[in-house]
Amino acid sequence: MDPTAFILSLLVLINPFALFVYLNPVIDGVGIRQFLLHVFLRANLISFAILAVFVLTGTSVFDQLLGIRFDAFRIFGGVVIFSIALAFIVQGKESLIALREDLDALASEIALPFMVGAATISISILAGNDLDPLIGLGALAGALVINYAIIAALIAIKYKLLRNGWRIAFDKFMGILLRINGFFIGAIGIDLVVTGVLAIYHSSLG
């Protein structure tokens, strides 16, 4: 895996467009400035700190520290991702929960599990095995900066450029993107399960 592939994979899995739909109630509740400068910035810093651990350690955190197979994590993570994707497809916006906590709690809830989940952890582990630590950390930081910039741009489009009628149409369009994204995320979940099962099967054959 090269740095560009790592960045693109993270962006697909985090999906700032679906994340924006999820965050709309939070933005409306705390305000744009408070959201960008405190809540979402903290969420990105928390996500970077967690994923950086896996970029630096690779599969060793499973092999040496936890004593479990990374492929078992892949399978479990794939099941979780598939269930989330199914909720996106079937329920759409209704699958998203409005958050009502203090700012620190909001940042943590955004980071986990919507930015840091089984899929992003898996990709970070694979990057940790393939990339130089500094390059891996740089790519991780780059992906999160791009994610932040996309969310900020979507906020500017909706709240600064569009009027009420167009905002409703914009929200409907983002809702459609959320459902479409569910198909891609579901496919990633199935791929993680299949990859994990095949890896365990081949290792059992010796």
pLDDT average per 10 residues of sequence, the chain (206 residues): 88 84 81 89 94 89 76 82 75 52 71 81 86 92 95 88 77 76 80 85 75
Q: Which two tokens stand for residue 205?
A: 């054959």
pLDDT tens digits, residue range 9-20?
Answer: 888 888 888 788
CA triple 52-95-146, angle to 5 deg? 35
Average per-residue pLDDT in the chain?
A: 82
DSSP for 109-147, written as a single string: HIIIIIISSHHHHHHHHHHHHHS-HHHHHHHHHHHHHHH
What is the distance between the alpha carbons of residues 58 and 185, in angstroms, rounded to a whole number? Answer: 23
Closest to 175 measured CA to CA, from 31, 20, 30, 32:
20
pLDDT at res. 65: 72
How is the chain split into domains, by residue range? Answer: 3-204
Cβ(127)–Cβ(6) below 8 Å: yes
Q: Which two tokens stand for residue 13?
A: 């899995």
